[in-house]
Amino acid sequence: MNAGGVPGLLVTPSQEERATLLYLHGGGYVAGSAFGYRPLAGCLADTAGTGVVVPDYRLAPEHPFPAAVEDAVQAYLWMLDRGAARVIVAGDSSGCGLVLSLLLSLKQRGLPTPAGAVLFCPWVDLLAASRDREPPHELDDIRRATAGLYLAGHPADDPLVSPLATDLAGLPPMLIQAATGDPLLEEARELADHAADCGVDATFELFPVDTHDFHVFWSFLPEAAQALQQAGRFARDASLAAQAG
């Protein structure tokens, strides 16, 4: 499919379902694809009962910030133009950072906001990626490298890429899911707390899993399947609440 100039996939539980969910995949802003995320998007489409648009947004280092954000905004506006009254946005890992960049960009521009946001194991703190942690984790080097490629010299304290230091007031309800063994667990907690402090309706759910981005294992990991069921329920409820409002 082509979402207003952005290539991608449309995954639906049936041909009759209209797409109302936008999924921004993870991969540290340098990897990942719509095709690679087709199984996860398909499961989410089934649990949410709606079509899911998965854009192949441009990746660093060939296309650093703000290319991915521009593509996410373009795909979102395309969905609105196609008749989706209120869209749910979702993402995993660095895709969560892109979700928040999208939300903040829409807020800055005075554009209609989504009905809700679903964030799987969020990586949203590019400032922290440049700092050493104790004890160190093997994921730190990956985050540091990919953050540098994505920003390409752009300030990491730009509000669009630093949501933990930005006023999130006015953003839609959020569901944040994390794993007990995720090295980025505290970042997910901090996001949930910061969003709540800003007046955002933020729900935090924690699952007993020992890995980052565990949702991609939904086909054989019961906790991941349960998380996606709950995410689908959140998406349905947020859409209904937006329509009623």
Indicate the pTM of the whole model. 0.95
Count CA within 13 A, CB hemisphere, residue 135: 2
Beta carbons of 120 and 96 less than 8 angstroms apart: yes
Residue 48: its pLDDT value, please? Answer: 96
Q: Per-residue pLDDT for the chain (245 aa), expressed as one digit of tens each?
A: 999 999 999 999 887 668 999 999 999 999 999 999 999 999 999 999 999 999 999 999 999 999 999 999 999 999 999 988 889 999 999 999 999 999 999 999 999 999 999 999 999 988 765 555 455 556 677 778 899 999 999 999 899 999 999 999 999 999 999 999 999 999 999 999 999 999 999 999 999 999 999 999 999 999 999 999 999 999 999 999 888 87
Residue 233 and residue 38: Cα distance in Å, rounded? Answer: 20
Beta carbons of 94 and 28 less than 8 angstroms apart: yes
Is 158 catalytic? The answer is no
Active-site residue, selected from the candidate residues 71, 92, 125, 182: 182
As given in the structure block, the two tokens for residue 111 are 């554009």
Residue 244: its pLDDT value, please? Answer: 81
Measured torsion, CA atoms of residues 119, 91, 30, 186, in degrees rounded to the nearest 10: 10
Residue 178: its pLDDT value, please? Answer: 98
As given in the structure block, the two tokens for residue 169 are 């007031």
Residue 219 and residue 207: Cα distance in Å, rounded? Answer: 16
Residue 224 and residue 6: Cα distance in Å, rounded? Answer: 29
User: What is the SS3 assignment for 33?
Assistant: coil
Beta carbons of 179 and 121 less than 8 angstroms apart: yes
Beta carbons of 186 and 214 less than 8 angstroms apart: no
Active-site residue, selected from the candidate residues 56, 92, 125, 212: 212
Q: What's the Cα-to-Cα distance from 75 to each of 2, 17, 69, 70, 181, rounded to whole Å?
A: 9, 18, 10, 9, 33
Could you tell me the strand order of the sheet in which 174-179 lies? 2-3, 6-11, 51-55, 19-24, 88-92, 116-120, 174-179, 202-207
Amino acid letter, residue 11: V
CATH of the domain at 78: 3.40.50.1820
Residue 242: its pLDDT value, please? Answer: 87
Residue 197 and residue 194: Cα distance in Å, rounded? Answer: 5
Is 182 catalytic? The answer is yes
Structural domains counted in the chain: 1
Active-site residue, selected from the candidate residues 93, 94, 105, 239: 93
Q: Domain range spanning residue 108?
A: 2-244
Residue carrying structure tokens 């199984």: 39
Is 213 catalytic? The answer is no
